[in-house]
Structure 1
Amino acid sequence: MVASSGLAAMVRYGAGKNPVLRLALHTLWGQKCYWCNAPKDYNDTQIDHIIPRSQCATDRAALLHACRLPADFDVDDPRNLAPICAPCNGSAGKGAADLSDTPMLLRKLRQADALRPKVIQMVTEFGNSRRTAESLLRAIETDLNDPRARAAFTAHAPGVVQKLAMLDESLADYHTSRIVEFALGLSEPLEVELLLNARGRTTLTIVEDVYGRPVIEVLGEGLPTLIELAQARAQAEFNDESAEGGPMYAGPPTTHFVEIQIDAVDFDRQGPILDVSFAGTFTGSYSLSVVQDSMDGIGLDELQGDVELTGRFTLRATWDGPTNDGAPDIVDCDEATWDVEGYLTR
C-alpha cells in the first residue's frame, strides 16, 4: 500500500465528491456497514477512515507501523475508506474499539484495498453521464419517511426497474439478508449471513417448505467441516519440516475471530435428486504455539504464530429423494480455497 498518485489521487475523501464516493463505497461493500456487517440504507451510512484520520501523529505512526504500512500512507485514499453506520461511528462503536487489534484492522484494510480499483472506477465514471447519474443519486438520497417521496417512488420506480431489466434482467433482481446463528464450539455463537437473490429465495423455499428442513439444520451439518478445514489450514501454515533453522511444528490453533457470509444459494434438480449449494466467503483469525529447534542446537524455541485466513467455500446438500424428516442424504464442504498470511514472533 502506497500513497495515491495520478488519476486515483482525485478520488479521495474531501476531494469534492464525497456523496458519489459514499455511494460507491456503499454499493461495493454490499450495502452494509463494514464495522457491524449489518445491511444499511445509503442514507444511514457515513464514510469512515479505517486508520483514523483524527488520531494524533504519534498514535497514527504507531498504528501504521503495527499494520506494516508506510509512513506516508494516505488515510483519505479509498484503500482506507469504508461505509459505516452512525452508531458504529460513535463512541460506543468503533470509538470504543481497541484499534491495537492489528489483525482486525488488517482484515478491513485488505478488503478496502481489493475494492479500491472499483471505487475509483465508479467515481471517475460518474461524470460520463452526469445528468442521469446525478438524478439517480438524488433518488437514492431521498428520504422515504416523507409521504410525498414514498408516493413518488411507488408511482415511478417500477418504470426505472423495468428500464434496468431491459439492459440486463439480472440487474433488476434484488437481495435480501437472513441471519442464522450457530453454536459451533467457538467462544461465542457464530452469526452467518445469507445474502439472497430471487434464485436463493426460491432455493430456500424448496428446502424449507417442500422438503420441510430448516436451513439452519442443513447448514449446521456442513459448517463444522468448514471450521475444521480452516483450522487445519491455519495450523499447516507453521508445520514446516523444511523451515530455515530447522523443522517447525504448530499446536492446535486458538480461534479469535470467524466471519462467514453466504452470498450465492442455488439448486439443481435431476429427477428425484436435489442438489443445493451454499457458496460464500470465510474470514478467520488464529494464534498458535509453534516450536522449533533452538538456534544453538540445544533444546527448543517456543514461538507464537498468528494467522489471518480468508477464502471461498461451497457447502453442498443432496437429497436422493423425499425423506420422512426432510434431512439431506449428504452434506459436505467440497470446495474451499484459502489465502493465508502468517506472522511468527520469537
Structure 2
Amino acid sequence: MADTVRYGGGDNSVLRLVLHNTWGKKCYWCGDPKEFNDIEIDHILPQDAGVKDLEGLKTAYPLDEDFDIHGVENLAPICARCQRRKGSRRYGAIGIVLDALRTASRYGSTIVKKVQKFGNSGNVAQLLLGAIKADLNDPDVRHVFEDYAPALVQKLALLDEAKADYICSRIVGPPLTPYNPLNISLALDNGGRTAVAIFEDVCGCSVEEVLRGPIAEIMAESHRKVQARLEGMRYYSSPIFFEAPYSVSTRLVVASISYAREGPLIAFTFAGEFEDDVSATAVRQGDDGIGLVEFQEDAWTSGRFSFTATFDFLAEPESLVLDACSIDWWGLE
C-alpha cells in the first residue's frame, strides 16, 4: 500500500474528508450516516499495537507482511459514540473487523489518489474543506448556507445529477418491547427513499411492521449465540447456571432498500446492520461450597442482515410474504 498517505500527528482533515466520502458518509462501526464534523479517523486494528501485538494481529487476520497500522488499509470513519465504545480493546477475528479490513483494503488505492488529487487542486479544494468543516450551530453561518449552498448543489447536479444525491436518516417506530429500547433507523439515498414510498403505498403497511419478524429472528439468534458462549465459560471451578439471555438495548440500521418487479410479483430487498446488548443472570456455588452466588454476565452481538419481502398482486387476498432473515456475519463480544 502506498506510504505517501497515512495517519499522522498533524492535521488529518483532508484524509478524514476523503475517508468520510469514500465510505459513504457513514460511521463504519454503526452504519449511521454522519455529518463530517461528527466523524473521526479510527484505526480498525488498534494504533497502539506494539511489534509483538502486530505480529499476533497478522496471525489472527489475513494481513500482508508490510501492513501499516497507520496506513489507509487500517483507517475508517467512525462517530464519537462508537469510538468511545470500541476504545482500544483487542478484538478476535469478528465479522465487523474482518469486513472493515477488507473494505479498507479495497478502498485503499482510491483514497490515496483522492488525497493526492485534493492536494493538487489548489484554492477551491481548501475553500470547500472550510465550508464542510463549518459549524452550522452558528446562526450566521447557517443562514449563509441556507441562502447559498443550494447554488453549489445545483452546480454539482449540472455535472451529474446522481452526484447531488444524499443520504438521510429516519427513525422509524416506537420500541417494540416494553423492556428493550429498540432503535430502528433508515439510512437511505434517493433510491432507497423511493423504494420506501413504493413499499408503503403498494403493500399498505409501514416499514416498522415488516421489520418486526426479521428483528425477532435476529434477537432470537443473538440470544442463542450468547447462551452458547456463556454455557462454555469455565473460569469458576463450580458449574454455572444461566437464565435465558435478554436484550437490554437493540439497534438496527436499514442501509438499503431495493425493489424489482416480475409479472404480478414485486420483491423488496432490505439490508442493513444491527447490534444487540444482551444480558443474562447466572448462579454458581459460592466459594464456601454451601451458598449460591448470583451475578450478571453481559455480551454484545453485531452483524449484517438482509431479507426479501414479496408482494403478490394476484393473490386472494393480496399478500406480503417474507423470506427468512439472512445474517451475513456475526460479531460476538
TM-score tier by shorter-chain length is 0.5 to 0.7
The equivalent of 2:195 in structure 1 is 203
* 1:275 equivalenced with 2:269 (yes/no): no
The equivalent of 2:165 in structure 1 is 173
Letter matched to residue 46 of structure 1: E
The equivalent of 2:240 in structure 1 is none
2-structure distance, mates of 1:127, 1:106:
31
> What 5-or-longer segments of structure 1 have no aligned partner?
228-258, 285-309, 341-346
On the 8 A contact 2:268/2:308 being kept in 1, the answer is yes
Letter matched to residue 207 of structure 2: V
How many residues are aligned here?
A: 271
Output aligned runs, 1:215-230, within 5 Å: 215-220=207-212
The equivalent of 2:43 in structure 1 is 49
The equivalent of 1:32 in structure 2 is 26
The equivalent of 1:12 in structure 2 is 6
| Displacement after TM superposition at 1:106 (Å) | 2.3
The TM-score normalised by the length of structure 1 is 0.62
> What 5-or-longer segments of structure 2 have no aligned partner?
220-250, 276-302
On the 8 A contact 1:222/1:332 being kept in 2, the answer is no
The TM-score normalised by the length of structure 2 is 0.64
* 1:108 equivalenced with 2:124 (yes/no): no
Output aligned runs, 1:273-312, within 5 Å: 273=264, 275-278=266-269, 280=271
2-structure distance, mates of 1:152, 1:41:
18
| Displacement after TM superposition at 1:312 (Å) | 9.2
Show CA shifts across 1:39-96 (max 9, x none): 3211112111122222343333333332243554211110001112233333xx2226
| 2:69 maps to which of 72, 75, 78 | 75
2-structure distance, mates of 1:113, 1:191:
31
* 1:21 equivalenced with 2:15 (yes/no): yes
Identify if the C-alpha distance between structure 1 residues 41 and 214 changes in structure 2 by more than 3 Å, giving closer, same or farther. Answer: same
Identify if the C-alpha distance between structure 1 residues 148 and 168 changes in structure 2 by more than 3 Å, giving closer, same or farther. Answer: same
The equivalent of 1:245 in structure 2 is none
Identity of aligned residues (%): 39
The equivalent of 2:288 in structure 1 is none
2-structure distance, mates of 1:21, 1:219:
37
Give the SS at the match of 2:209.
helix
Output aligned runs, 1:148-163, within 5 Å: 148-163=140-155
Letter matched to residue 62 of structure 1: G
1-structure distance, mates of 2:265, 2:65:
55
2-structure distance, mates of 1:126, 1:96:
31
On the 8 A contact 1:20/1:123 being kept in 2, the answer is yes
The equivalent of 1:318 in structure 2 is 311
The equivalent of 2:79 in structure 1 is 85
Give the SS at the match of 2:83.
coil
Show CA shifts across 1:179-206 (max 9, x none): 669x9xxxx9997764322332233234
On the 8 A contact 2:255/2:273 being kept in 1, the answer is no
1-structure distance, mates of 2:218, 2:105:
26
Identify if the C-alpha distance between structure 1 residues 129 and 70 changes in structure 2 by more than 3 Å, giving closer, same or farther. Answer: closer
On the 8 A contact 1:280/1:312 being kept in 2, the answer is yes
1-structure distance, mates of 2:273, 2:256:
13
Q: CA RMSD in A?
A: 4.3
Show CA shifts across 1:7-65 (max 9, x none): x2211112867211101111122222223333321111211112222234333333333
Identify if the C-alpha distance between structure 1 residues 15 and 312 changes in structure 2 by more than 3 Å, giving closer, same or farther. Answer: same
